[in-house]
A and B are shown apart, each in its own frame.
Chain A
Amino acid sequence: MSSDSSRLLAIVCAAAVQACVAAATVGAGAAPLRVCSDPNNMPFSNAKRQGFENKIAELVAQDLGRPLAYFWSPQRRGFVRNTLAAERCDVMMGVAAGYQGLQATRPYYRSSYAFVSRRDRHLRVRSFDDERLQRLTIGIQITGDDYNNPPAAQALAARHLGANVRGYTVYGDYSKPDPQRDIVHAVADGRIDLAVVWGPLAGYYARREAPPIDVVPVADEARPGMAFAFDIAMGVRREDRMLREALDAIIVRRHAEIRRILTSYGVPLL
């Protein structure tokens, strides 16, 4: 073989190898990022991808260079077992940091429960020790977990205010959109005087009510188990270190954009 042809052959081979490697890389990168998500839980997510977790998922997928896919399931007891751990999806966009059963990334925001009331009531409640609570009806979210409930339930129980409590399930009427809206709506239309609602929900739905609604963060209490502020992170399978590290990097690098998305939804950030 002449030296020209052998050089040509070498170039062709190198190109072929390059092409194969590139294809492999692109191929691997093109595996969709599968998100475990609730199809009806605004403001977090819904099947129409209108929630802020949907927007953040899009940002993450775009940064990773992967198409976005969803596995939908109502987010209740057994959610992690039925979705993430069952390998039907790879990432949960929001989970309380410290939640067992998966591996959490670094938190990407911190928020707290908030007192929600109509501005024209001038209630301005800031603590559970406020003695006006004795005469108010107070709405609390119900999570449906064998006597486990958001911290407001415990705070009120400790003050013997059970009679003032009205419960609103976190899944509401699941056949309608915005199932968690009712607790804030009940404040707006006067069915209850006050509600203690998780920040993102409070901020989002308060904006959508006609009468102005105050959203005031609740401070942690000294009692054990009385944390009202929580760090929220993303969650992946325990063994999925690569994805967790990639997500950690994105959370740092794209911090400002993530924050913008959250504030656009009215999420009270701490």
Chain B
Amino acid sequence: MPVYSLGLALIVYAAGVARVWRSAGYGRGVRPWEAVAFACGWIAILIALSPRMDELSDTWLAAHMIQHELLMVIAAPLIALSAPLIALLWAAPAGVRRRSLEVVRQPPMTRAWARLTAPASVFLLHAIALWIWHLPSLYDAALEHEALHVAQHLCFFGTALLFWWGIAHGRHGRRGYGAAVVYVFATAVHGGLLGALLTLSPRVWYAPYLTTRASGLTPLEDQQLAGLLMWIPASLIFAGGGLVLFAAWLRESDRRSRYQPALPLLAVAALATLVSPACDRGQSPAGGGASAPHGSVPGAPRSMHLVADVSHGEWRMPAGDYGNLRYSTLNTITTTNVMNLHVVTTFSTGIPHGHEGQPLVFGNTMYVVTPFPNNLVAVDLTKPGGAVKWIYEPHPDQRAVGIACCDLVNRGASYADGKIIYSLLDATVVAVDSESGKEVWRTRVGDINRGETFTGAPIVVKNHVLVGNSGGELGVRGYVAALDVATGKEAWRAFNTGPDSDVKIGPGFHAFYAKDQGKDLGVTSWPAEQWKLGGSTVWGWISYDPETNLFFYGTGNPGVWNADLRPGDNKWSSSIIARDADTGDAKWAYQATAHDSWDYDEIMENILIDMDYGGRPRKLLVHPGRTGFVYVLDRETGEVLSAETFQPVNWASGYDLKTGKPNEDPARRTHFGTVTQGICPSSTGAKDVIPSAFSPRTGLLYIPAHNTCMDYEGIEANYIAGTPYLGADVKMYRGPGGYQGELVAWDVAHNRKVWGVKDEKFPIYSGVLATGGDVVFYGTMDGWFKAVDARTGTELWKFHVASGIVANPVTYLGPDGKQYVVVYSGIGGWMGAVAFPDVSADDPYAALGVVGAMKDIKKYTAAGDVVYVFGL
């Protein structure tokens, strides 16, 4: 239908222009630029009503908005300015023309016309049409009924045409001009307001757009984009129109000499006021949704830059983002409303073992990896309560259970290339189609027959799945392997001990400190061939910097032998290593603890952030270590900028930043057969693998810390695989201060703790989540899920779940556009396993001494397996 009317309009206009030009001369009656304006306006309508545009606007509100804008702020003004009435008159034969003019010049007609096209009238008509048709009920109805939809477009175009006509051609006296200016600016404001409401609303207004899409923006993001499209361009165009009128007004009056200088300033001021709120919001609309440009986060200092996009409604990789911030921009849950958080739904995984890790959430589906047997459960979040879509059961080798050292945990999955990718305990990596739940590939990477297991979460960088191994204490040699994301085939394996060729140290490698420089240190820092059983496994977190294409991770302890049997630095155990994501070539490495004798694995997260540090912008890597120190490194070179303690520590008094070496206290080194008492932190560390979170808004690192010290005595009968021996008698207990755990808020820029929330009873063994609403979430081992104020640490809300929490909370946008928080409950892991009924709490030396520190836990929690989702 529109094709015919458009065609007709064009013919009529062209005929009219042709005739008037033939009769009065070229450019008379209808000026050339007016004809051009008509042509442009006509093309805009053509685009707006094209079938492709109609198709897009069925799915995307933003596309629909573009259609309306093309009609109302592009086509309408252009056509209003194209002298359409003249062309129309001249299109008619002379007789018709004369008679029409007579009719039109009748006083009642002219009066009616004047009133209709007065600035006030056209303003009102335009405003009413705009707002009424954007009411959800009418808009939805228009989407549903084609006739109404046509009426909507006609209404928009018609009132817009009148508006621009009225503004441009209406009767103006001096007062008229002033009124016109006011009305145009007023339209800019109210139009902008409507756009702002659409952008800022946390709810989706128009139900037909609530359908899920295969990919791309969520309904809420789409609405925000549409709102922005209305807010910014419309405001600009109306404001621009207003300014033109204003200039004309000034030119006409004799106030020009006095006020003309003011015009540019006024222009800037007007534009600024109208558009700046939109720009601010345009960065990252509240409620999350439209992609935040990855450099920044709303409310953060301008100097703070992310290396990669943080989560803003979905969670697609273990830490939420490549930089490992575990931060989400979602902010509808705030410090003022989080006390209203309640359980929205729960479900069991059915496996009462330690639930570490976190789910993935995207495409309105939640993906949960269970502890051994490592099933993958896909939950449809659009169904009430969440309904299981499918369960993938990989059936890993049962023997892995007997071989894994520390409960049967799994630390999560990554999503890439249409697949959910994660590790199984038996050292296999699987890729599962995220829609169907069918296995796409399965690769055996490690060998459980040699004591290797996998508990860590892989990440995907471009076409590589990066995954590390566990089992260092069993003589396994640590490595990171890269698998092809499409096929699962191994591309390369970079070891952490051995000759440079194995460790992938080549000409591109440069360690910052002299102690880490030299050839084949992965061999020469060990006696004889002990590097072959050199541990240094990678069972923690991997982070990635897309700008430099480097990934970062920490390595575990030196493996098998007591320190006295392996003199030397034992590289590259307990180190932080930077590697190229394509080739695995090492770029730099820093060994935090040489010749470890305390079991200080350094597999903790390495948080990547760019911020002002020490007076200038630096590219940082922040690593809260097992050792009790927060290491802040320059991630380009591996230089340690700071190493300060976040819990009581006495194995070393500090780090010499010139050499990178710790100033160790020799009295706190452990030696088999020697009693060493009061070593802080214990082997479990001031922090274990459980990850911290960083908020760019507060600049604080939220560390789940432990205050545990140990006595090392070395006389206890042990028995493994038929072989008896005397093992270290290690007893752990709470450190100075008498508390066991603390959520530490660490000011990265100033290298100091600003506040802490102590837990008298147990170490904090859960991950942390920071959000744009300035709420920080974490859990305790006795089952409290808590929310604290990100700036002050004040406890705002808590809820007691069925079993202790050793998992990492995650937040996301549900299909209804609301913010939810999800966390696993299910005590376990190295320290939590004491809660299991089959572990005796009577012997303080059992479980490598952990029982001593955790003996009360059976009173507070038992094993569990429930996933909790919270919402407002």
Q: Which residues of A contact B (CB under 8 A)?
A: 38, 41, 44, 73-79, 81-82, 85-87, 94-101, 141-151, 153-154, 156-158, 160, 162-167, 169-171, 173-176, 180, 198, 200-201, 223-227, 230, 232, 238
Alpha-carbon gap, A153 to B715, bound state (A)? 14
Instruction: Encode B454-480 as 1/0 by CB contact (under 8 A) with A.
Output: 000000000000000000011100000
Interface string of B552-576 (1 = CB under 8 A from A): 0000000011111111000000000
Q: Is B438 positioned at the interface, with any CB of A under 8 Å from its CB?
A: no
- Which of chain A's residues have a CB closer than 8 A to the CB of B833? 81
Residue from B449, B597, B843 within 8 A of A173 (CB atoms): B449
Q: Which partner residue on chain B sits nearest A85 by CB separation?
A: B838
In the complex, what residue of chain A is closest to B670 when comparing beta carbons? A147
Instruction: Tell me the smallest distance from the CB of B570 to a CB of chain A, in Å.
Output: 11
Nearest-neighbor residue (CB-CB) of A87 within chain B: B838
Pull 30 A–B residue pairs with CB atoms less than 8 Å apart, ordered by A.
A41-B722, A76-B721, A77-B720, A78-B402, A81-B833, A96-B724, A100-B716, A144-B720, A145-B720, A147-B562, A148-B725, A149-B562, A150-B725, A151-B725, A151-B726, A153-B562, A154-B562, A154-B672, A154-B673, A157-B562, A157-B565, A158-B673, A162-B565, A180-B721, A198-B722, A201-B722, A224-B714, A225-B672, A230-B724, A232-B724
CB-CB under 8 A from A41, the residues of chain B are 721-722
> Are A162 and B564 touching (Cβ within 8 A)?
yes
Q: Which residues of chain B from 152 to 171 have a CB within 8 Å of any chain A CB?
A: none
Q: A162-B566, A174-B449 are in contact. Are A226 and B474 (CB under 8 A)?
A: no
Residues of B within 8 A of A176 (CB): 449
Assembled-state Cα–Cα distance A127/B586 (Å)? 45
Of the candidate stretches B215-223, B273-281, B527-535, B688-696, the one touching chain A is B527-535
Instruction: Tell me which residues across on chain B come within 8 A of A44, comparing CB atoms.
Output: 722
Q: Are A76 and B403 in contact (CB under 8 A)?
A: yes
- Other-chain contact of B560, A74, A144, A154, A164 (Cβ < 8 Å): A144
Residues 381-405 of chain B, each 1 if its beta carbon lies under 8 Å from chain A, else 0: 0000000000000000001011111
Quick check: A165 and B527 within 8 Å, CB to CB? Answer: yes
Interface residue? B448 (CB, 8 A): yes
Q: Which residues of B contact A175 (CB under 8 A)?
A: 447, 449
- Is there an interface contact between B599 and A81, defined as CB atoms closer than 8 Å? no
Interface membership of B246, Cβ < 8 A: no
In the complex, what distance in Å separates the CA atom of A78 from the CA atom of B473? 14
Measured in the bound complex, the distance between the Cα atoms of B559 and A167 in whole Å is 12
In Å, the complex CA distance between A108 and B88 comes to 115
Q: Which residues of B contact A (CB under 8 A)?
A: 399, 401-405, 447-451, 473-475, 527-530, 533, 560-567, 597, 599, 672-673, 683, 714-728, 833, 836-840, 843, 845-846, 848
The smallest beta-carbon distance between B714 and chain A, in angstroms, is: 5
Q: Bound state CA distance, A86 and B837, in angstroms?
A: 8
Q: Closest B-chain residue to A88, C-beta based?
A: B838
Give A133 to B683 CA distance when docked, in angstroms.
Answer: 33
Q: Which residues of B contact A82 (CB under 8 A)?
A: 401-402, 838
CA distance A150 to B839 in the complex (A): 24
> 5 closest pairs, A vs B, by CB?
A96-B724, A85-B838, A74-B402, A157-B564, A148-B727
- In angstroms, Cα B690 to Cα A49, docked, is 43
B840 touches A96 (CB 8 A): no
What is the minimal beta-carbon distance from B536 to any residue of chain A, in angstroms?
14
A144: B residues at CB distance < 8 A: 405, 451, 473-475, 560, 720
Select from chain A the residue with minimum beta-carbon distance to B533: A167
Contact A163 B838 (CB under 8 A): no
CA distance A180 to B721 in the complex (A): 9
Shortest Cβ gap from B79 to chain A (Å)? 80
Known: A38-B722, A175-B447. 5 other contacts (CB 8 A): A147-B473, A154-B562, A165-B565, A171-B721, A198-B723
A214 to B230, CA, bound (A): 90
Residue among B404, B672, B719, B725 with the highest chain A CB neighbour number at 10 A: B725
* Chain B contacts for A160, CB-based, 8 A: 567
Contact B722 A169 (CB under 8 A): no
Which residue of B is nearest A200, CB measured?
Answer: B722
Q: Is the CB of B720 within 8 A of A166?
A: no
Which residues of A lie under 8 Å from residue B564 when comparing CB positions?
154, 157-158, 162
A165 and B845 alpha carbons, distance in the complex (Å): 29
Instruction: Give min CB distance, A71 to chain B, whole Å.
Output: 11
- Known contacts A74-B403, A85-B838, A146 near B726 by CB under 8 Å: no
Interchain CB contact under 8 A, A145 and B473: yes
Cβ B475 vs Cβ A167 within 8 A = yes
Residues of A within 8 A of B474 (CB): 142, 144, 169, 171
State A153–B728 Cα separation when bound (angstroms).
13
Interchain CA distance A84-B421 in the complex, whole Å: 35
* CB-nearest residue of chain B to A175: B449
Which of A78, A86, A99, A223 has the most chain B CB atoms closer than 10 A to its own CB? A78
Q: For A42, give the chain B residue with the smallest CB separation.
A: B722
Give, as a whole number of angstroms, the nearest-CB distance from A174 to chain B.
4
The docked-state distance in angstroms from the alpha carbon of A10 to that of B632 is 91
Given the complex, which residues of A lie within 8 Å of B404, measured CB to CB?
78
Docked CA distance A129–B694 (Å): 55
The residue from B565, B717, B843 contacting A230, defined by CB atoms under 8 A apart: B717
Which residues of chain A are within 8 angstroms of B716 by Cβ–Cβ distance?
100
CA distance A238 to B528 in the complex (A): 44
Chain A hits for B562, CB < 8 A = 147-149, 153-154, 157
A167:B560 contact, CB within 8 angstroms = yes
Q: Which residue of B lies closest to A168 (CB)?
A: B475
Partner of B561, one of A87, A147, A226: A147
The answer, among A100, A166, A174, A224, for a CB contact under 8 Å with B846, is A100
Q: Which residue of A lies closest to B840 (CB)?
A: A101
A79 to B723, CA, bound (A): 13
Q: How far is the CB of B544 from chain A (nearest CB, A)?
A: 30
Point out the residues of chain A lying under 8 angstroms from B450, CB to CB.
Answer: 169, 173-174
Chain B residues, Cβ within 8 Å of A147:
473, 560-563, 597, 599, 728
B402's closest neighbor in chain A, by CB? A74
